[in-house]
Amino acid sequence: MPDRENDALIDRQANAIRIALQRIVLLRETGPKSAAWQRARIKTMWRLRQQLLADTTPRQVDEHDR
């Protein structure tokens, strides 16, 4: 049962990150056009994408975890 709760939590977090990424992508069309703003937007997208990958990638079991 705890595994289901953990999986549900991970799914909710991943969904929240996906929504944030979609909003950031849409800001390209509606946000300021300055180069600095676009760099900040890209950095935010990269950070969110890395967080999404980390949250949804199965954790590898270390020798110390056994």
pLDDT for 4-47, tens place per residue?
888 888 888 888 888 888 888 787 777 777 888 888 888 888 88
Residue 4 and residue 36: Cα distance in Å, rounded?
A: 42
As separate numbers, helices (DSSP H) first and strands (DSSP E) second, the chain gives 2, 0
pTM of the model: 0.55
Residue 51 and residue 66: Cα distance in Å, rounded?
A: 25
**pLDDT category of residue 56 using cuts at 50, 70 and 90:** low
Residue 28 and residue 7: Cα distance in Å, rounded?
A: 32
Nearest to 24 by CA among 13, 36, 38, 14: 38
